[in-house]
A and B are shown apart, each in its own frame.
Chain A
Amino acid sequence: MSLEQELRRALQRKDPPRGFHDKVLARIAAGETTQARATAWVWPRIAVPVAASLMLAFGGTYYAHRQQERQAQELRAQTEQAAREVVLALQIASQKISAAQAKVEEITRYDHTSTR
């Protein structure tokens, strides 16, 4: 038997068995009810974990972001405090050096005046 003949035989039109139409209709009717029931159960099953995962993901990201922000703020505050302390130290040093210079100048001036 050639391939063509085999294909023709396999694909030839066949009538459905008796009662097939009624059975299909009955099963569709039955299937629709079960399908509807299954969908009603599937949605909460998917939605709850998805929502929980999303909440966890967003919550985690938000928490990490807040932590980073807090750390950056702490570092900024630390740096500002360091700068403030260093500036204050330089201020005191500069004031004391200027005062010493002024005293030395005053003494030198006094010595010059007294020698004249």
Chain B
Amino acid sequence: MTTRVLGSYCLIVAALLVPRTALAQGARLQLDHLDKLAGKATDTVDVSADTAMLKQAAGFLAGKGSDTEKMKELLGGITGIYVKSFEFDAPNMYAESDVETIRKQVSGAGWSRVVSVREKRELTEIYFWKERDTTGGLVVISAEANELTVVNIVGRIDLASLGALGPMIPKFPAALGKGAPR
């Protein structure tokens, strides 16, 4: 009897925990299958910034000018940034299935496509993950003949603010020192 009660209690706790975990992982994509492309690429960027790393970065950027303050503000709502970008010296170095695996992940419930541009051999798509009424994540897929880039941002993200950061961002890598992660 006690075992049965305990079992039911465990099931209830598990049932309560599952949706939270699912929500937390909802906006996070599995991009590991792209790692194999690093061997073929001439230029690779692989950034995996979790909450701790973002906090560290935000702390570092604090008090380093108004531009960095805007970036710090933007980082405030984000819990993870995952980027994989590959540049190739020839076309057809990645398979169509590499892109499809990502598109499959964003075809489920919670995701909505806001931009989709397909031109010849180029595909640009932006997807949003919504948690209740707020944005809980973003995915950008940019597949060109010689380049494949996937950006996955988890957390509250303002597309306009992110777009507005564009002109000011290139100042930072120089200010932060050379050597982008490869």
Say whether A84 faces chain B, with CB atoms less than 8 Å apart: yes
Closest to B126 in A: A100
How far, in Å, is B103 (CB) from chain A's closest CB?
Answer: 15
CB-CB under 8 A for A93 and B140, given A83-B176, A85-B47? yes
Chain A interface size, as a band, is: 20 to 34
One of A80, A85, A96 near B140 (C-beta < 8 A): A96
Chain B interface size, as a band, is: 35 or more
CB-based contact B47/A86 at 8 Å: yes
Closest to B151 in A: A93
How distant is the Cα of A101 from the Cα of B115 in the complex, in angstroms? 8
Closest to B171 in A: A87
How distant is the Cα of A103 from the Cα of B116 in the complex, in angstroms? 10
Question: How would you classify the secondary structure of chain B's contact residues: helix, strand, loop or mixed?
Answer: mixed
CB-CB under 8 A for A82 and B56, given A92-B85, A93-B140? yes
How distant is the Cα of A101 from the Cα of B151 in the complex, in angstroms? 15
How distant is the Cα of A85 from the Cα of B56 in the complex, in angstroms? 11
CB-based contact B176/A84 at 8 Å: yes
CB-based contact A100/B153 at 8 Å: no
CB-based contact A88/B47 at 8 Å: yes
How distant is the Cα of A83 from the Cα of B172 in the complex, in angstroms? 9
How distant is the Cα of A110 from the Cα of B57 in the complex, in angstroms? 41
Say whether A104 faces chain B, with CB atoms less than 8 Å apart: yes
Say whether B173 faces chain A, with CB atoms less than 8 Å apart: yes
CB-CB under 8 A for A88 and B115, given A80-B60, A96-B149? no
The 8 A CB mask of B69-101 against A (1 = contact, 0 = none) is: 001001100000111010000000000000000
Say whether A55 faces chain B, with CB atoms less than 8 Å apart: no
Add 8 more A-B contacts to A84-B177, A88-B45, A100-B125 (CB < 8 A).
A79-B56, A83-B61, A83-B176, A87-B173, A91-B170, A92-B149, A99-B142, A100-B142
Residues of B within 8 A of A (CB): 45, 47, 49, 53-54, 56-57, 59-61, 71, 74-75, 81-83, 85, 115, 117, 119, 124-126, 138, 140, 142, 149, 151, 153, 159, 162-163, 165-166, 169-170, 172-173, 176-177, 179-181
22 residue pairs of the A-B complex, CB under 8 angstroms, read A79-B57, A82-B53, A82-B60, A83-B56, A83-B57, A83-B61, A84-B180, A87-B169, A88-B83, A89-B83, A89-B151, A90-B169, A91-B172, A93-B140, A94-B162, A94-B163, A97-B162, A100-B125, A100-B142, A103-B124, A104-B115, A107-B117
Residues of A within 8 A of B (CB): 78-101, 103-104, 107
